[in-house]
Structure 1
Amino acid sequence: MPQFPSVEWFEALRETVQDDPHWRDFGMMDCAMGVNVGETTIKLVFDGFEIPEIADISDSADDADLDFTLVMSPERWQEMIKNIQSNGHADLHHTLNTIDLESPEELAKGEDYNRRDLFYRFNQTLQDFFDASSSVETTFA
């Protein structure tokens, strides 16, 4: 059972969505994003309907190739993932959009606003991606 956050967890999520014929209904994405959970940062590269790269970049100071990074506390990430697993999808209070709107700080962080804007452009597809974690057995760090 993969542990969140880890490369193995995101690889299991990638397998889940890429084995799902409805993944193409979510819409194509072209972005490189980071998922920051405490001291851990995982890089995910989306290229159309593929996710060709998943890497732990926690020890790397170079995140300049990321369009944006989703940053939440480990507790907030765990709450969101558990909510998705309980409901099969995020409820109204646990979507990426709601979390972003209700947080005093932006959820998506990045130096270049045009690149960071990809979070908003692909928000629903990203939500569908995380919602697919409802079928990924998960433990938490």
Structure 2
Amino acid sequence: MPQFPSVEWFEALRDTVQDDPHWRDFGMMDCAMGVNVGETTIKLVFDGYEIPEIADISSSAGDEDLDFTLVMPEDRWREMIENIKSNGHADLHHTLNTIDLESPEELAKGEDYNRRDLFYRFNQTLQDFFDASSSVETTFA
């Protein structure tokens, strides 16, 4: 059972969506995204319908090539993932969009606003991606 956050967890999520014929219904994405949870940052590269790269960049300076990084405290990430698991998808209070709107801090962070805007452009596809984690067995640190 993969632990969130980890490369293994995101690989399991990638395998889940890429094995699902409905993944193509979500829409293509082209972006390099970071997911920051405490001291851990995972890089995901979306290329069309593929996710060719998942890497732990916590101890490197690899975040300069990211379009944006989703940043939340560990407990908020856990709450979102557990909510998705319980409901099969995020409820109204646990979507990326709602979390972003309700948070005093921006959820998507990045130096270049045009690149960070990819979070908003691909928001629904990213939500569908995270919603697919409902079928990934998950443990937490």
TM-score over 0.5 for the pair: yes
Q: Compute the displacement of 1:62 (Å).
A: 3.3
The whole-number CA distance in structure 2 between the counterparts of 1:63 and 1:134 is 28
Deviation at 1:61?
A: 2.3
Q: TM-score, normalised by structure 1?
A: 0.99
Q: What does residue 109 of structure 2 align with?
A: 109
- Which runs of 5 or more structure 2 residues have no equivalent in the other structure? none
2: CA distance, partners of 1:99 / 1:112: 21
| Whole-angstrom CA distance in 2 between matches of 1:62 and 1:22 | 31
Q: CA deviation at 1:120?
A: 0.0
**TM-score normalised by structure 2 residue count:** 0.99
d(CA) in 1 for partners of 2:19 and 2:50? 11
Instruction: Give the whole-Å Cα distance in 2 for the aligned partners of 1:25 and 1:36.
Output: 27
CA separation in 2, counterparts of 1:62 and 1:85? 30
Encode CA deviations 1:14-72: one digit per residue, 9 max, x unaligned: 00000000000000000000000000000000000000000000001231100000000
Q: What displacement does 1:102 show?
A: 0.1
- SS of the counterpart of 1:90? coil
RMSD, matched Cα: 0.4
CA deviation profile, 1:104-125 (whole Å, cap 9, x unmatched) = 0100000000000000000000
Q: Structure 1 runs of 4+ off > 3 angstroms?
A: none
Matched with 2:131 is 131
3-state DSSP of counterpart to 1:120: helix
Cα shift readout 1:67-102 (whole Å, capped 9, x = no counterpart):
000000000000000000000000000000000000
Distance, in Å, in 2 between the alignment partners of 1:134 and 1:34 is 20
Unaligned regions of 5+ residues in structure 1, if any? none
